[in-house]
Amino acid sequence: MIGGVARSRARYLAPVALVVVVVVTLVVVSNGLHSNSSKPPAPTAVQTDATRGTPRARRTRHRATYVVRPGDTLSEIAVKTGVPLGTLQSLNPGINPAALQTGQRLRLR
């Protein structure tokens, strides 16, 4: 009879323990999501000219070439690099837009 009592308790405790684990998991995940969304954005650093103390313009360095990746199309490359499609075609006159090969280098400027 003692074995039957232990088995009946386990029959009820296992589902209760499962529900407790699921609820605790949901609460932890929910708190994690809410705490990340309430953080203020990190301040952006502004570089200043050491002699004048005034902000200086950042120089943007444009890439000179692009290496074709699997699945790239010429129009996608134009969007990724910000170089107009016509400019890509004029800078790379020997390329066939329909037959780009992985690893092929394209001039961007």
Extents of the domains making up the chain: 1-40, 65-107
In this structure, what token pair is assigned to residue 10? 């386990």
Mean pLDDT calculated for residue range 64-74? 92
Res 23: pLDDT: 85
Is pTM beyond 0.75 here?
Answer: no
In this structure, what token pair is assigned to residue 14? 């296992």
- Into which CATH architecture does domain 65-107 fall? Roll (3.10)
Res 20: pLDDT: 85
Q: What is the pLDDT of residues 76-91, one digit of tens each?
A: 999 999 999 999 999 9
Res 109: pLDDT: 85
Q: What is the pLDDT of residues 41-58, one digit of tens each?
A: 556 655 555 555 555 555
φ, ψ at 54 (rounded to 5°):
-105, 150
